[in-house]
Amino acid sequence: MSPAVLVVAVAAITVGSRAVSVAVLPAPRGALAAVVERLPAPLFAVLATVTLLGSDQASSPAPVWLAAGAALVTVRRRSLLLTVAAGLAGAVVGRALT
């Protein structure tokens, strides 16, 4: 699978899951709202990356750690697409290094 296809797939999974949750679920209130507001986009980037890369990466944590780190660097920009792309790039670099 090419990196471009992976970026598109990760973005679709991440944005799609958030769009469905906003459309279907009621807005959280109270303490739950505070927790949901603080969930970082890197979490979604790493989960999508691990899912797309498959279970053969379970033996090496490097791609996951690099994906999380790269995605975390971009989180201040508040761009989900940029965060997912950075997370995927980190995972690809980690996979190449292992």
Higher pLDDT, 84 or 41: 84
Q: Has residue 76 got a pLDDT over 80?
A: no
Question: For the whole model, what pTM was predicted?
Answer: 0.47
At 46, list the tokens: 């790493």
Q: What is the pLDDT of residue 50?
A: 66
Q: What mean pLDDT do residues 3-29 have?
A: 81
For the ranges 5-14, 40-49, 71-80, the lowest mean pLDDT is seen at: 40-49
Burial pattern 30-64, b for ≥16 Cβ within 10 A else e, equals eeeeeeeeeeebbebbbbbbbebbeeebeeeebbb
Burial class (CB in 10 A: 0-12, 13-18, 19+), 82: middle
Residues 36/71, Cβ–Cβ less than 8 Å: no
